């Protein structure tokens, strides 16, 4: 009987024959199949949301870093991640993948909203041998696809890590301003302020990874630019997933090279120029 | 006169013309990444999982996310309305600003003991400081060969490249190694056409030789400078050359031609195995 | 907990629809690729089906709606409600001595009514065609310009499976094309589309209102503080949880696959938020035992 006919036959059987409360997942079928191929399955949709308040005067009358904002961000992030971890545990999952991270920085509060799918290893499926190190419940913004790839290479996610820094750029000094009208030159104060902010955001993210005992961070995404409600404030937010080697050593994936026959048109583009002898 | 004149700058007589060395925060962050007695290091990277696996595949390991930036004020340069010419001062400024950013990124990579930096992105950001000030930023992931071979270029510096993890893997398969990101830039002013000229050619489809000349020259200047950099590194070729043309904030008659590529050298005679042809049925 | 209205209770499939569905040639909303896959799977498209409903709509709340009892968080029998009393004792008539998070049942009921009316009309058209199911369902909701109303719509392609007995109810799914083919190959049968909406009003008490406006000055403890806004965080969680539980209630033990969750927020005045969460997905049933794919081969494309 073809798959489709078997499926149609299944529709005639009464529902509620499945044990348990019914799995919910926001993974696509491709992701579900990839998860299955490494012996894991989706369990439940899980969320974590947290709002933290900010004194409105944080943004006024000063230059340099806005400490309260990074504090609020760190607080909101930690709490939302924790909530998600709790939901994952309640649902019987081992960790959460495909977390969508939504951040809103408003003038009086910061919101972090996370949504993802909790997953767990399928009991009867034989797992590859390894150090058997079981990390604490992990939360990661890696897609289920990336998760399965990493697992096959011997790595596993540990946690979502993030760091933020908000800085109000200093204004120029009088002498600098006068000089700059005609001359091309670097602006050291501004450079320094932004450099600092970026480094701090990265550093905080790094600290998060270190305290989780990770071996590294992949997929760091840097959000940077002026805040919507106040253009003088620069925000730098770095978000990534901390990972750790769970096998004895990295397992190579040995990809094969392929040439796709899909392109209907080949465009001429000179991409190699020999250096003159 | 702008109103943002209040002082926050250095004390009189100690004007900084350019930032020297890396800020202490950067040094601290990089130090944290490295293994020390009693402290286990780790890596950070903006590589995707795909890129991470491919970088490992060619025997490299990521060390850390590195960056360098510079906020640069672009001064005035007078130009003659009716003449097409390179605006050398602006060229120099754009070049300088990017070099500052790239050098700081290189320094961070050196701090980490890297062999090279992959996935370098060079961006120019305009914020609220006016049209003549921009932030030039260079970002990438520093990597190191796991077998201890040094891949630093002939200047003793880690190689830089704007190759993605995938391109890096493919390049290494062909027996070539990257040497450095090379660039050449030229800021060119295109002459405005006089009224007489415009009237004469109205209604005809004809080449405008002055424009052709001008743009040709500008692009050649940019590419030649790029190639000069590659020669200095002892490269056999440049791959992935991109020619970008931007007016930034100067209006349409002034364009920056930026030519970027990765200089490579051949290290062994290798041929990629015959790739499998595939056709995907899912669009 | 709200339940989809009975199919028989609703009318409204226009006569023009009956004529269109009776005519010979079928139309379909499937793309060429999806159409090819549909045939390859063994399904024949029989017609484009649609259903619409226009509902009176309003976001603001000046009434809390009927709720069971005061105090405590009870799911799902009565509505969700949590009270936030102010710890300050009497301060002034303006002081928000009392706040609450409360489920807005009447918004949910209206949404459910509109959505399921449109969906059921679409399924009616499918039934008239003798369809076994509807694939590639697209649902939408948008306001009708300036009339204070929302139009709900549901559209899809009705299909029959030659050689199969018609199911008691035609199946429905948001998926089409390769996604649907792979789902079936993986051993899941599409049962029906799942849609649920929840709506929670967060009416802030004094502390919440103060925190939302940026705790800077004032004699409240915690002036200038960076702190969690507990009431809002709780309301946000509750709205997502309610939608999720309602969706699960439609599963009857089957699995919810390919879910999407959208959250909308609207400020209703100082210190008050209306939050709505909509979950849509596919209810699927396992008909084949689990057998994992062999590990796929990783490739690097040269083009």
pLDDT band, residue A276 (cuts 50/70/90): very low
d(CA C133, CA C145): 33
| CB–CB contact C244 A24 (8 Å) | yes
pLDDT band, residue A240 (cuts 50/70/90): very high
Query: Which token pair is A125?
Result: 């499926």
Chain B residues close to A260, C-beta within 8 Å:
277-280
- Please check whether residue A98 lies inside any domain of the structure: yes
Specify the pLDDT at position A133: 42
Same domain, C213 and C274: yes
Between the alpha carbon of residue A193 and those of residues A168, A275, C146, the distances in Å are: 8, 40, 49
Same domain, C253 and C180: no
Specify the pLDDT at position A181: 66
Residue-number span of the structural domain to which C260 is assigned: 68-103+195-289
Least confident of A110-114, A185-189, B165-169: A185-189
**Pairwise pLDDT comparison (C294 vs B110), residue with the higher score:** B110
Scanning every residue of chain B, which has its alpha carbon at the shortest distance from the alpha carbon of A173? B7
Specify the pLDDT at position A177: 61
Same domain, C205 and C273: yes
d(CA A106, CA A53): 9
Chain C residues close to B53, C-beta within 8 Å:
298
Closest listed residue to residue C179, CA positions, set C126, C257, C251, C289: C257
**Pairwise pLDDT comparison (C13 vs C234), residue with the higher score:** C234
How much is the CA Rg of chain C, to the nearest whole Å? 24
pLDDT band, residue B245 (cuts 50/70/90): confident
Q: Write the DSSP symbol of residue A168.
A: E
Chain C residues close to A119, C-beta within 8 Å:
none
Specify the pLDDT at position B3: 33
Is B282 near chain C, with CB under 8 Å?
yes
pLDDT at C75 over 50: no
- Please check whether residue A100 lies inside any domain of the structure: yes
- Please check whether residue A16 lies inside any domain of the structure: no
- Please check whether residue C206 lies inside any domain of the structure: yes
| CB–CB contact B283 C302 (8 Å) | no
**Pairwise pLDDT comparison (B77 vs C137), residue with the higher score:** C137
d(CA B168, CA C17): 59
Give the position of tokens 């034989």: A126
Q: What is the CATH number of the domain that holds C120?
A: 3.30.110.70
- Please check whether residue A228 lies inside any domain of the structure: yes
Q: For chain B, which domains are there?
A: 24-199+208-265 (3.30.110.70)
Give the pLDDT confidence of B125-175 residue by residue, as tens digits: 877 666 678 889 999 999 999 988 888 888 888 999 988 888 898 888 888
Between the alpha carbon of residue C193 and those of residues A6, A21, A47, C190, the distances in Å are: 20, 18, 22, 8
Query: Strand, helix or coil at C31?
Result: coil
Give the position of tokens 């960076």: C226
Between the alpha carbon of residue A257 and those of residues B170, C19, C256, C297, the distances in Å are: 9, 55, 37, 11
**Pairwise pLDDT comparison (C95 vs C122), residue with the higher score:** C122
Chain B residues close to A173, C-beta within 8 Å:
5, 7-10
- Please check whether residue A6 lies inside any domain of the structure: no
Same domain, C53 and C140: yes
Of the three residues C152, C186, C220, the one that is the final residue of a domain is C186
Specify the pLDDT at position C79: 82
Scanning every residue of chain C, which has its alpha carbon at the shortest distance from the alpha carbon of B274? C302
| CB–CB contact C161 A34 (8 Å) | no
| CB–CB contact A4 C164 (8 Å) | yes
Is A122 near chain C, with CB under 8 Å?
yes
- Please check whether residue A277 lies inside any domain of the structure: no
Query: Which token pair is A60?
Result: 């006024």
> Average pLDDT for residues A225-229, to the nearest whole number?
79
Could you give the percent of chain C with pLDDT greater than 90?
30
d(CA A233, CA B99): 26
d(CA C280, CA C262): 9
Specify the pLDDT at position A54: 86
A191, A195, A197, A201: CA torsion to nearest 10: 160
Residues belonging to chain C with any Cβ–Cβ distance to chain B shorter than 8 Å: 33, 178, 298-300, 302
- Please check whether residue C125 lies inside any domain of the structure: yes
Number of domains in chain A: 1
Same domain, C124 and C176: yes
Is C289 near chain A, with CB under 8 Å?
no
| CB–CB contact A257 C299 (8 Å) | yes
Scanning every residue of chain B, which has its alpha carbon at the shortest distance from the alpha carbon of A149? B49
Contacts of A123 (CB under 8 A, 6+ apart): none
Scanning every residue of chain A, which has its alpha carbon at the shortest distance from the alpha carbon of C164? A5
Number of domains in chain C: 2
> Average pLDDT for residues A27-44, to the nearest whole number?
88
Would residue C93 be called left, alpha or beta, if left means φ above 0 and alpha means ψ between -120 and 50 degrees?
alpha
Cβ neighbours, 10 Å, residue B151: 17
Q: Write the DSSP symbol of residue B156.
A: S
Q: What is the CATH number of the domain that holds A135?
A: 3.30.110.70
- Please check whether residue C16 lies inside any domain of the structure: no
d(CA A248, CA A93): 25
Specify the pLDDT at position B22: 78
Chain B residues close to C300, C-beta within 8 Å:
54, 166, 169-170
Computed over every residue of chain B, the mean pLDDT equals 81
Same domain, C166 and C246: no
Chain B residues close to A185, C-beta within 8 Å:
17-18, 72-73, 75
Same domain, C281 and C212: yes
- Please check whether residue C239 lies inside any domain of the structure: yes
Same domain, C162 and C277: no
Which C residues 268-287 touch A at CB under 8 Å? 279, 281, 285-287
| CB–CB contact C300 B170 (8 Å) | yes
pTM of the model as a whole: 0.79
Closest Cα of chain B to C282: distance in Å? 22
B15, B18, B20, B23: CA torsion to nearest 10: 90
Is B55 near chain A, with CB under 8 Å?
no
Answer for the pair B29, B23: CB distance below 8 angstroms, yes or no. Answer: no
Sign of CA dihedral B23, B24, B29, B32: positive
Specify the pLDDT at position B9: 37
Same domain, C228 and C81: yes
Contacts of A2 (CB under 8 A, 6+ apart): C42
Give the position of tokens 């004469």: B200
Which A residues 185-214 touch B at CB under 8 Å? 185-192, 194-196, 198-200, 202-203, 205-207, 209-210, 214
In this complex, the chains that touch A, judged by 3 or more CB pairs closer than 8 A, are B, C
Task: Give kind and range of the element (H or E) at residue B183.
Answer: strand B176-189
| CB–CB contact C300 B54 (8 Å) | yes
Specify the pLDDT at position B279: 65
Of the candidates C33, C298, C302, the beta carbon closest to that of B283 is on C33
pLDDT band, residue C4 (cuts 50/70/90): very low
| CB–CB contact A171 B8 (8 Å) | yes
Scanning every residue of chain C, which has its alpha carbon at the shortest distance from the alpha carbon of A12? C167
Give the pLDDT confidence of B197-226 residue by residue, as tens digits: 676 767 767 677 767 777 888 888 898 999
Answer for the pair C52, C141: CB distance below 8 angstroms, yes or no. Answer: no
pLDDT at C213 over 60: yes
pLDDT band, residue C66 (cuts 50/70/90): very low
Answer for the pair C214, C207: CB distance below 8 angstroms, yes or no. Answer: no
Chain C residues close to A53, C-beta within 8 Å:
211-212, 214-215, 225-229
**Pairwise pLDDT comparison (A176 vs B185), residue with the higher score:** B185
Q: Write the DSSP symbol of residue C228.
A: B
Q: Write the DSSP symbol of residue B39.
A: B
Of the candidates A4, A50, A79, the beta carbon closest to that of C42 is on A4
Of the candidates A7, A16, A259, the beta carbon closest to that of C253 is on A16
Long-range contacts of the stretch C219-222 (C-beta < 8 A, 24+) = none
| CB–CB contact C302 B170 (8 Å) | yes
- Please check whether residue A256 lies inside any domain of the structure: no
- Please check whether residue C294 lies inside any domain of the structure: no
d(CA B137, CA B123): 5
Residue-number span of the structural domain to which A193 is assigned: 23-172+184-245
In this complex, the chains that touch B, judged by 3 or more CB pairs closer than 8 A, are A, C
Closest Cα of chain C to B205: distance in Å? 38
- Please check whether residue A253 lies inside any domain of the structure: no
pLDDT at C77 over 60: no
> Average pLDDT for residues C230-254, to the nearest whole number?
92
Could you give the percent of chain B with pLDDT greater than 70?
84
Could you give the percent of chain B with pLDDT greater than 90?
25
pLDDT band, residue B16 (cuts 50/70/90): very low
Same domain, C92 and C180: no
Give the position of tokens 């002081």: C95
Same domain, C94 and C109: no
Same domain, C151 and C161: yes
Contacts of B51 (CB under 8 A, 6+ apart): B118, B119, B164, B165, B166
Q: Write the DSSP symbol of residue C239.
A: H
């Amino acid at each position: 009987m073809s798959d489709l006919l078997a499926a149609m036959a299944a529709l005639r059987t009464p529902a509620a024959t499945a044990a348990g409360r019914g799995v919910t997942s926001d993974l696509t079928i491709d992701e579900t199949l990839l998860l299955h191929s490494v012996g894991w399955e989706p369990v439940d949709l899980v969320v974590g949301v947290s709002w933290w308040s900010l004194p409105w005067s944080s943004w006024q009358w000063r230059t340099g870093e806005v400490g309260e904002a990074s504090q609020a961000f760190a607080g909101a992030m930690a709490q939302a991640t924790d909530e998600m971890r709790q939901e994952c545990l309640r649902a019987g999952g081992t960790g959460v993948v495909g977390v969508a991270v939504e951040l809103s920085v408003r003038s009086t509060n910061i919101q972090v909203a996370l949504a993802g799918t909790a997953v767990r290893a399928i009991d009867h499926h034989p797992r590859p041998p390894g150090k058997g190190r079981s990390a604490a419940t992990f939360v990661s913004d890696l897609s289920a696809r990336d998760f399965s790839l990493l697992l096959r290479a011997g790595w596993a996610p540990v946690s979502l890590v993030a760091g933020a820094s908000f800085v109000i750029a200093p204004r120029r000094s009088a002498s600098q301003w006068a000089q700059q009208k005609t001359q091309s030159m670097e602006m050291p104060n501004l450079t320094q302020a932004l450099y600092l902010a970026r480094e701090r955001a990265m550093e905080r993210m790094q600290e998060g990874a270190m305290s989780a005992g990770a071996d590294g961070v992949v997929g760091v995404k840097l959000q940077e630019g002026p805040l919507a409600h106040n253009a003088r404030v620069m925000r730098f937010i770095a978000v990534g997933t901390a990972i750790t080697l769970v096998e004895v050593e990295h397992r190579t994936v040995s990809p094969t090279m392929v040439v796709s026959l899909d392109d209907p048109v080949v465009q001429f583009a000179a991409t190699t120029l020999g250096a003159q002898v | 006169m702008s109103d943002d004149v209040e002082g926050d700058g250095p004390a009189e007589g100690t004007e900084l013309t350019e930032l020297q060395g890396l800020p202490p925060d950067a040094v601290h962050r990089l130090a944290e990444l490295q293994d020390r007695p009693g402290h286990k290091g780790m890596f950070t990277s903006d590589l995707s999982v795909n890129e991470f696996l491919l970088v490992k595949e060619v025997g490299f390991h990521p060390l850390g996310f590195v960056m360098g930036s510079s906020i640069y004020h672009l001064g005035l340069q007078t130009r003659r309305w009716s003449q097409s010419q390179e605006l050398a001062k602006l060229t120099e400024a754009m070049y300088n600003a990017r070099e500052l950013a790239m050098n700081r990124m290189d320094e961070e990579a050196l701090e980490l003991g890297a062999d090279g930096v992959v996935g370098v992105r060079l961006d120019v950001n305009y914020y609220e400081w006016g049209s003549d000030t921009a932030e030039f930023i260079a970002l990438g992931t520093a990597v190191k060969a796991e077998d201890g071979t040094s891949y630093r270029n002939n200047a003793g510096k880690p190689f830089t490249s704007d190759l993605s993890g995938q391109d890096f893997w493919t390049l290494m398969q062909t027996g070539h190694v990257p040497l450095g990101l090379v660039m050449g830039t030229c800021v060119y002013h295109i002459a405005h056409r006089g009224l007489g000229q415009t009237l004469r050619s109205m209604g005809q489809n004809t080449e405008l030789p002055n424009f052709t000349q001008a743009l040709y020259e500008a692009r050649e200047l940019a590419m030649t400078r790029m190639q000069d950099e590659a020669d200095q590194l002892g490269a056999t070729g440049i791959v992935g050359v991109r020619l970008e043309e931007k007016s930034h904030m100067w209006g349409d008659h002034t364009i920056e031609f930026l030519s970027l590529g990765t200089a490579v050298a051949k290290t062994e005679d290798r041929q990629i195995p015959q790739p499998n042809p595939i056709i995907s049925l899912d669009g | 907990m709200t339940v989809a209205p009975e199919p028989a209770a609703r009318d409204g499939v226009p006569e023009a629809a009956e004529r269109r569905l009776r005519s010979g040639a079928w139309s379909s909303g499937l793309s060429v690729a999806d159409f090819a896959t549909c045939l390859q799977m063994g399904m024949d498209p029989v017609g484009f089906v649609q259903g619409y409903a226009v509902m009176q709509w309003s976001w603001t709340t000046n009434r809390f709606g009927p709720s069971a009892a005061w105090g405590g968080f009870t799911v799902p029998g009565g509505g969700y409600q949590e009270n936030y009393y102010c710890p300050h004792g009497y301060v002034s008539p303006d002081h928000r001595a009392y706040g609450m998070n409360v489920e807005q049942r009447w918004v949910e009921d209206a949404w459910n009514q509109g959505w399921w009316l449109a969906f059921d009309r679409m399924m009616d058209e499918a039934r008239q065609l003798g369809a076994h199911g509807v694939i590639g369902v697209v649902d939408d909701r948008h306001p009708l310009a300036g009339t204070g109303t929302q139009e709900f719509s549901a559209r899809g392609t009705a299909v029959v499976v030659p050689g199969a007995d018609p199911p008691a109810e035609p199946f429905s799914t948001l998926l089409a094309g390769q996604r649907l083919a792979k789902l079936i190959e993986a051993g899941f049968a599409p049962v029906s589309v799942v849609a649920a909406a929840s709506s929670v009003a967060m009416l802030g008490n004094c502390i919440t209102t103060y925190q939302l406006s940026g705790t800077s000055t004032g004699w409240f403890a915690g002036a200038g503080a960076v702190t969690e806004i507990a009431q809002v965080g709780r309301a946000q969680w509750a709205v997502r949880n309610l939608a999720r539980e309602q969706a699960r209630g439609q599963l009857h033990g089957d699995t919810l696959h390919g879910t999407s969750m959208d959250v909308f927020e609207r400020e209703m005045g100082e210190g008050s938020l209306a939050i709505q969460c909509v979950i849509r997905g596919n209810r699927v049933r396992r008909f084949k035992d689990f057998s994992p794919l062999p590990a796929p081969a990783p490739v690097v494309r040269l083009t």
